[in-house]
Amino acid sequence: MKVTILGNNSALPAYGRYPTSQAVTIDGDVLLIDCGEATQIQMQRYGIKWRKLEHIFISHLHGDHYFGLPGLINSMGLLGRNLPLHLYAAKPLESILQQMMAVADTALPFEFHFHPLQENESEVLVDNSKFKIISFPVEHRIPCHGFKVEKKSRGRKIILEKCREYAIPAYFYERLKRGEDYEQVHGFVVKNEWLTEDAPQTKKYAYCADTVFTESFLPYLQDVDTLYHESTYLEAETDRATLRFHSTAKQAATIALKANAKQLLLGHFSSRYKELDLFATEARTIFPNSYVAEEGMEFEV
């Protein structure tokens, strides 16, 4: 699983250096978390294929998190998309998009499914053979959600050399992944443990959107491999962060430590800061494996 920080185009001065949009790639499938202005330009710039995009998740309805969405949806229609598209967001966004399409007499050439997020609740949004995604409420000035993406294991890992040695037919490989033994024609049982290795562990990525410092959603973050947590301010402006329902780098690091995360990505920096390395420096005093997430960066989960 790979996370690509799309951000807003850095040429947009109003947003400073807020990296609010991210693409999560799982075995070729693309998930989009938030969609600020210029997201479709950033997707093209960093090689994110919208044809592989079927699920979009919007944390909340502040402009830097969704103003790029109408343009992206319209562009996909004009460019001949035919796969269904699923959007998960606060209920009011549905009527906003409907009005925009109505006044432009827009008819999308693909199925468009809107899934309203339940305010102040956690819920499973997607659960398929590859991944599971849940939403959870965070605490911001308006209703806001974080998301946790779990890449599922595909079962035990096949050792091809051993399978050839014991003449295991290819059709049986899927059953090997499920842990079954193989019985040869003459009755000899080939043990699964001779043919496979333990499956890779489930990978977990959590995205904490705009939020004040709080442990209210900590249970959803436990033992994640990578945690993205907003860090709009440095510690000297903790009071400002609290007043505006945002967090500092040290507060994000505290959450990562309490969650037993393996890696912390810091983002959503106030435009007042020019030296972003200061955020990592502060966070690492509490959680050493902390990184500044700037647009264009890729992180393996």
Catalytic positions, written as ranges? 64
- Beta strands (DSSP E) in 111-188 are 112-116, 123-127, 131-137, 145-151, 157-158, 182-183
Kindly state the greatest CA–CA separation across the chain: 75
For 181, phi then psi, to 5°, come to: -80, 165
Give the pair of three-digit tokens for residue 121. Answer: 């609740």
CA separation for the pair 149, 269 (Å, rounded): 23
CA separation for the pair 294, 45 (Å, rounded): 14
CA 60, 206, 210, 212 dihedral sign is: positive
Closest CA to 269 of 289, 252, 288, 256: 252
Buried b (16+ CB within 10 A) or exposed e, 56-88: bbbbbbbebbbbbbbebbbebbeeebeeebbbb
CA separation for the pair 32, 25 (Å, rounded): 9
Distance, first Cα to last Cα, the chain = 6
CA separation for the pair 190, 105 (Å, rounded): 64
Query: What's the DSSP call for residue 224?
Result: -
Give the pair of three-digit tokens for residue 181. Answer: 């033994």
Helix (H), strand (E) at residue 3: strand 2-5
Q: 167 to each of 156, 159, 164, 179, how far by Cα in Å?
A: 18, 12, 5, 17
